[in-house]
Amino acid sequence: YSGSYAKATHIAPLKDIDLALYYDVDDWRTTTGEIYTPGRVIGQLFRRMHQLHGHRLTIRRQNRSVGISFKDFDIDLVPALWDGNDQYAAIIPDRETKNWVATSIPLHIAFLKNRDKTYRPYAKTIRLIKAWKRCHAVDFPGFALELLAIKALDENSTSNNLGICFYRVLNY
């Protein structure tokens, strides 16, 4: 798994989980060697999931994933094209911008876990900020909010007090 659940930055109730599907990047190239467009990769994954499960589940194309809806829970399948490197650095699709976004899910997870070892409540602060975002219906991507909170805490807080950390992020 990947996403906020893997980083312990999710908020309850857990509505979905992100699963990164690592594919060999060479399996997603045109005959001229170019990587397929994000839309094509999402489209192929969508069609395959629809063939397998479309008769009983709701399958939908999303910006960076294919969503599968169960009764009370969603799974977002994120295709990650990987070249075999040791850090699991991969590219994930962004259909909106029609670009590929470089990421390393294991490094993101380790980075946040290491930050929490400083005795500053990074993950708890991020969960609190996400709960605040949900209560106030703020339309802002969760991952961007995580990065903003990390930067704010790195630059503006040495406290291990959750309230102070929350205040520092809000005022960043």
pTM surpassing 0.85? no
- pLDDT confidence of residue 32: 96
Q: What is the DSSP string of 126-140?
A: HHHHHHHHHHTT---
Three-class SS state of 168:
helix
- Tell me what percent of the residues of the chain surpass a pLDDT of 70: 99
- pLDDT confidence of residue 82: 94
- pLDDT confidence of residue 166: 94
Three-class SS state of 14:
coil
* 160's tokens: 């291990």
Three-class SS state of 121:
coil
Q: What band does 62 get if pLDDT is binned at 50, 70 and 90?
A: very high
Paired with 48 in beta bridges are none
41 versus 156: the higher-pLDDT residue is 41
Q: Which residues contact 137 (CB under 8 A, 6 or more apart)?
A: none
Is residue 1's pLDDT more than 70?
no
Is residue 158's pLDDT more than 90?
no
Average pLDDT, the chain: 90
- pLDDT confidence of residue 58: 95
- Check residue 84 and give left, alpha or beta (phi > 0: left; psi -120 to 50: alpha): left
- pLDDT confidence of residue 141: 85
Q: What is the 3-state secondary structure (H, E, C) of 69-110?
A: ECCCCEEEEEEEEECCCCCCEEEEEECCCCEEEEEEHHHHHH
* Sequence letter at residue 94: D
Mean pLDDT of 56-77: 94
* 58's tokens: 């709701």
Mean pLDDT of 104-112: 87
| pLDDT 10s digits, 117-131 | 776 788 999 999 999
Question: Which range among 23-37, 105-119, 134-148 has the greatest average pLDDT?
Answer: 23-37
Mean pLDDT of 121-142: 92
